[in-house]
Amino acid sequence: MKDFLKMTFASIIGMMIAGFILLILSISVIGGMVATTEVATTVKDNSVFVLDLKGNIVERYEDNPIEQLLGEEITTRGLDDILSSIKKAKNDTKIRGILINAETFACSTASLQDIRDAIMDFKESGKFVVAYSGTYSQGAYYVSTAADKVFLNPSGSISWHGLSAQTMFLKDLLDKVGVKMQIFRVGTYKSAVEPFIATEMSDANREQTLAFTKSIWNEIIGEVSEARNIPTDKLNEMADACMDFQPAETYIENGMADKLMYKDEVLAYLKELTGTSEKSTLATLTLDDMKNVISPTISKSRDVIAVYYAYGEIDNMTSSYDEGINSEKVIKHLRDLRNDDKVKAVVLRVNSPGGSAYGSEQIWREVSLLKEKKPVVVSMGDYAASGGYYISCAADWIVAQPTTLTGSIGIFGMIPDASELITKKLGIKIDGVKTNKLADMGDMSRPFNSEEGALIQKMVNNGYELFTKRCAEGRNMPIDSLKAIAEGRVWSGEMAKNLKLVDELGNLECAINKAAELSGLSEYKLASYPKKIDFVTSLISNAKPERYISSKMEETFGEFGNSFLMLKSLNKADRIQARIPFEVSIK
């Protein structure tokens, strides 16, 4: 017994020592990773910034520690990092130019335009931009036309086929499982509910989708035409012929590319441009390198223009879902900016398809209070529609890209009726008592009766009246004029500018310049909010399995992954929604 106790005690001590050593090693590893990520990049003379257009581009991205710990390649990039890196490259005298390395690339149209605009601005420095790929996607080619030279592998191809927009319809699937969606909406064009109640687009939805898709396509071919000196009619002819499967020589003949080159030939060309000898190694910088390049401090001013990022779906302030726009957190952050005397103006960067009408109203209130104290300028990203427009409309000035999707001023409610699933398919019978006539309202085992449906529709109508009132006041428009362009209709940024829903066409830089003008600042510092979290905090927050799985679904399934994630969050969604059509994919 004595020997047993000794052995047991020794084992416990051994396990404690081993655990302590593992803890020290873990802290050392994490500390080393933190230190690694914080080391400033040293830029060599005659460097080239290699901008890889690959993976999935989102508005703002924080590195996922789980991916780093597992040694996975990072396939998601933040638009903010790309834009800031291009700007750093423009201002760094040691960087001679940019190589656009176009690979498999998933990016929404307005973000593509943001990247292209940043490259066009980079070229004003007199530095070179070269694009190269074996296979250009249509979006990557659009960005690459900003380059001085577009090179293609002799066995490569360029996708050029025009735009299409699709919506995934789920009605037949719901019918099979015995679920019907009870719909309450205002707005002829408010088509976000269609995937649940139809198998194809309504005439109104088809009309609006075709209109904004044509508007976006015309913007794209206009810019490509100017850059490549190809008439727009010819660009449309080539799109009709679907250039994706043409011989490589065809792209040279039609002016889409400048020369067929292998990668080693492109490397030799870059060495020539940078004055690097044939036997020397070309100095290159990746996006990760550029993120750690320290920009020289330009302004010593204490005055700050804050850029606040609000992206994703808008919650209803009661959700624990930590993705997208958490209304309560946004309100707190905006309140802090309102009370910070060093912050002289705020640029609200909105990239949201909408969400909860209640959450949108609460954020609208805080934006209105912020506006009373300092200028507020909205910069719209890929989407600023429905609830995204709701939280934008109170601003002093609204800037959107021509390809931004915005408007969609409308409200809907959607509540499932699972009575067939419960009673017929599952064979479950439900019975009970109630003290009042409508005490069991919302019970999914039965559909709404006429009185209950009227109550819901009235609430939706009231929500629409409030939404349109906010927009009319914010845009200084008569309510009837606003309602004439509301009805839930989605507009491109260019169309919205003509309708006075936005004030200016441009990118985030344009919005910052306007904020400086409105606040009377010639010298200022830029600060981004919310602050990105540190490595250890990120490690803890990303330890949630569902968050990691969500990111993998988005990367693996693309736009279809977003649809599945939307289904996953339905049970957490607000009963009254202000959002654009369920999931629009523009290819």
Angle between helices 232-240 and 203-228 (to 10 degrees): 120
The whole-angstrom distance between residue 16's C-alpha and the CA centroid of its chain comes to 47
Evaluate whether 504 touches 497 at the Cβ level (below 8 Å): yes
The distance between the two most distant Cα atoms of the chain, rounded to a whole number of Å, is 94
Please, what is the Cα angle at 257 between 256 and 263, to 5 degrees?
150
- Tokens 């850059």 correspond to 227
Give one DSSP letter per residue of 512-525, joined into a string. Answer: HHHHHHHHT-SS-E
Contact 419, 447 (CB under 8 A): yes
In this structure, what token pair is assigned to residue 184? Answer: 């309450």
Distance CA 364, CA 409 (A): 14
Is residue 44 annotated as part of the catalytic site, yes or no? no
- CA nearest 56: which of 556, 407, 577? 556
Residue found under tokens 């690694």: 36
**Do 412 and 189 form a contact (C-beta atoms < 8 A)?**
no
Among candidate residues 215, 360, 386, 392, the one labeled active-site is: 386
Burial class (CB in 10 A: 0-12, 13-18, 19+), 505: middle
Residue type, 155: S
Q: What is the length of the chain?
A: 587
Supply the angle between the helices 203-228 and 109-123 in degrees, to the nearest 10: 20
> 3-state class of 579 per DSSP?
strand
Catalytic site includes residue 234:
no
Which of 306, 287, 492, 508 lies closest to 406, judged by CA?
Answer: 492
Residue 26 tokens read as: 């873990």
Token look-up 């002289």 returns 344
The single residue listed with the structure tokens 């709404």 is 448
For residue 354, what is the enclosing H or E element? strand 354-356
Across 227-243, b (16+ Cβ under 10 Å) vs e yields bbebeeeebeebbeeeb
Catalytic choice (88, 90, 127, 190): 190
Return the structure tokens found at 203: 């005439």
Q: Mind giving me the DSSP string for 11-54?
A: HHHHHHHHHHHHHHHHHHHHHHHHHHHHPPPPPPTTEEEEEEEE
Separation between Cα atoms, residue 57 and residue 388, nearest integer Å: 19
> Rounded to an integer, what distance in angstroms lies between the CA atom of residue 345 and that of residue 338?
9
- Positions marked catalytic: 190, 386
